[in-house]
């Protein structure tokens, strides 16, 4: 999926609040960098960075603000 569509879908998940989205992406990317398992299926040789994965998880509704520590 194109990045613009992912961002648009993720923004809908947070009521179009880009500030909340940026906080969520940051916190989830940090969790991923500390070893948390991605909640989306990734191809074996993916070249996605942690913020990309976090954004995709949020867009799919797998991560909510309440679930991020």
Q: Domain limits at 28?
A: 3-67
CATH number assigned to the domain comprising residue 36: 3.90.940.10
Mind listing the pLDDT tens digit for each residue in 25-64? 999 999 999 999 999 999 887 899 999 999 999 999 999 9
Which pTM was predicted? 0.90
Q: For 13, which DSSP code?
A: H
Number of domains in the chain: 1
In whole angstroms, give the CA distance from residue 46 to residue 51. 13
- The answer to whether the beta carbons of residues 62 and 40 sit under 8 Å apart is yes
Closest of 62, 60, 48 to residue 7, by C-alpha? 60
Mind listing the pLDDT tens digit for each residue in 14-34? 999 999 999 999 999 999 999
């Amino acid at each position: 999926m194109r990045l613009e569509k992912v961002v648009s879908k993720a923004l809908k998940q947070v009521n179009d609040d880009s500030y909340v989205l940026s906080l969520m992406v940051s916190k989830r990317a940090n969790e991923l960098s500390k070893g948390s398992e991605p909640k989306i299926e990734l191809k074996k040789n993916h070249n996605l960075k942690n913020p990309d994965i976090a954004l995709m998880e949020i867009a799919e509704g797998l991560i909510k603000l309440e679930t991020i520590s």
